[in-house]
């Protein structure tokens, strides 16, 4: 059964309006998420483009004929900028906007001025296809917020680019397009499916990002950005199991900032917070990418070193301690040193056992004068090394 074109136009226009409303609502619900406002405005432009598309062959002037596809291309540009902001990347440069606007606008208007219908289809399809490809590429770039919804949305834009290639092929192969035939109806059906798929993809991507933010808040210390105790315990359990399975060593650094209470009392809690962050910055600079740093509580930190024996862990600890001393010499804050206890996971140890031995070595380091590393013996007897 043939679809009535006007009925299809109304259905697609209403669907586009609802999808645009959904994007705006998503933005209003989560105004702090970057890019959602751009997605909303892109939805509005797309809805206007579809509404005008239904009347494009009754438009009075040649210069109005390219308007619907130009609005659709502009919507894609705004959406692309929104995706970049969503992923924490820089906005599109102004020069890019100018170049894209010229490339998108000039050829369709030239084709309209020449009254070349197939030429308009070629130029409009090419611009939309290129922009859809650029968005799909943007979505495929690695990001902490990339998940299944991001990949599905990327596929949607890639499918849009492919559909534009098919439109170009159809325009090149045949005679001038018959607008009383199925061609306009197929295009409208495609944009109906595309509008719904993109709006759904954006909503799911926002949900993925919000879930990621919640997981991060549940696993990170809000002040220093290191792992909190809960997240550390989960990762440490996995590392212990991996060490047991592979037979590779696993060591632990228990660290405590020296005289931190005195810093808080003398300089205030704000300076104390800055001191904690200063230590974390130095520690991250000295630890490897696969090492696990955790704020265990107050001024106490723990670092788990996979594939690292006691001697190598001591080298890491000393390097960190000396780096902190060097950084302290040029820092504007109060003097800062660190004491460390080092323990290696033993065949019969649990992580709790290893942590207790590292703590015992840490207390020994403090008793021996602070600002030093102490290695724990397997028997929990600590021997000072400085």
Whether 206 and 243 share a structural domain: no
C-alpha distance across the termini of the chain, in Å: 87
- Say which residue, 295 or 59, is predicted with more confidence: 295
User: Is the confidence at residue 78, as pLDDT, over 90?
Assistant: yes
Residue 384: what pLDDT?
A: 45
Asked whether the beta carbons of 358 and 341 are under 8 A apart, the reply is: yes
Mean pLDDT along residues 110-134: 74
> What domain count does the chain have?
2
Whether 153 and 291 share a structural domain: no
| Sign of torsion over alpha carbons 308, 314, 317, 322 | negative
DSSP, collapsed to helix, strand or coil, labels residue 88 as coil
- Catalytic sites, residue numbers: 299
Give the pair of three-digit tokens for residue 230. Answer: 């809960």
Whether 173 and 271 share a structural domain: no
Mean pLDDT along residues 21-43: 94
- Please check whether residue 356 lies inside any domain of the structure: yes
- Please check whether residue 14 lies inside any domain of the structure: yes
Domain that holds residue 130: 5-218
Residue 314: what pLDDT?
A: 94
Mean pLDDT along residues 311-328: 92
Whether 234 and 258 share a structural domain: yes
- Please check whether residue 350 lies inside any domain of the structure: yes
Residue 256, Ramachandran bin (φ over 0: left; ψ between -120 and 50: alpha; else beta): beta
Whether 136 and 254 share a structural domain: no
Which H/E stretch holds residue 306? strand 300-306
In CATH, what number is assigned to the domain containing residue 367? 3.30.70.270
- Please check whether residue 223 lies inside any domain of the structure: no
Asked whether the beta carbons of 54 and 110 are under 8 A apart, the reply is: no
- Please check whether residue 340 lies inside any domain of the structure: yes
Which tens digits make up the pLDDT trace of 149-187? 999 999 999 999 999 898 888 777 765 554 444 566 777
Whether 214 and 233 share a structural domain: no
Whether 256 and 343 share a structural domain: yes
* Rg, the chain, Cα only: 31
Whether 236 and 288 share a structural domain: yes
pTM of the model: 0.70
Which tens digits make up the pLDDT trace of 200-221? 999 999 999 999 888 888 899 9
- Please check whether residue 70 lies inside any domain of the structure: yes
């Amino acid at each position: 059964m043939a679809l009535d074109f006007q009925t299809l136009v109304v259905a697609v226009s209403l669907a586009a309006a609802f999808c645009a409303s959904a994007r705006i609502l998503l933005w209003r619900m989560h105004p702090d998420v970057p890019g959602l406002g751009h997605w909303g405005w892109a939805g509005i432009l797309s809805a206007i483009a579809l509404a005008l598309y239904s009347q494009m062959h009754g438009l009075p002037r040649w210069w109005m004929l390219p308007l619907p596809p130009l609005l659709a291309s502009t919507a894609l540009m705004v959406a692309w900028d929104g995706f970049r902001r969503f992923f924490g990347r820089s906005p599109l440069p102004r020069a890019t906007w100018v170049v894209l606007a010229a490339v998108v606008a000039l050829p369709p208007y030239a084709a309209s001025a020449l009254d070349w219908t197939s030429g308009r289809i070629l130029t409009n399809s090419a611009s939309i296809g290129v922009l859809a490809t650029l968005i799909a590429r943007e979505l495929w770039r690695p990001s902490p917020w990339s998940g299944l919804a991001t990949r599905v949305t990327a596929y949607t834009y890639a499918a849009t680019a492919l559909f534009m290639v098919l439109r170009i092929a159809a325009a090149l192969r045949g005679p001038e397009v018959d607008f009383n035939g199925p061609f306009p109806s197929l295009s409208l059906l495609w944009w109906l499916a595309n509008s719904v798929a993109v709006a759904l993809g954006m909503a799911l991507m926002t949900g993925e990002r919000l879930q990621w933010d919640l997981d991060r808040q549940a696993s990170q210390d809000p002040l220093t950005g290191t792992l909190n105790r809960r997240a550390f315990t989960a990762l440490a359990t996995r590392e212990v199991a991996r060490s047991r399975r592979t037979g590779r060593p696993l060591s632990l650094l228990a660290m405590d900032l020296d005289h931190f209470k005195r810093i808080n009392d003398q300089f205030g809690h704000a300076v104390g917070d800055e001191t904690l962050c200063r230590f974390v910055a130095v520690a991250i600079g000295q630890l490897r990418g696969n090492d696990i740093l955790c704020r265990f509580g107050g001024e106490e930190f723990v670092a788990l070193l996979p594939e690292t024996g006691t001697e190598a862990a001591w080298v890491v600890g000393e390097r960190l301690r000396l780096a902190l001393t060097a950084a302290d010499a040029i820092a504007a804050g109060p003097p800062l040193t660190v004491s460390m206890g080092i323990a290696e996971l033993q065949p019969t140890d649990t992580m709790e056992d290893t942590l207790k031995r590292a703590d015992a070595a840490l207390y020994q380091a403090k008793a021996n004068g602070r600002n030093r590393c102490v290695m724990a013996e397997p028997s929990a007897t600590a021997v000072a090394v400085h």
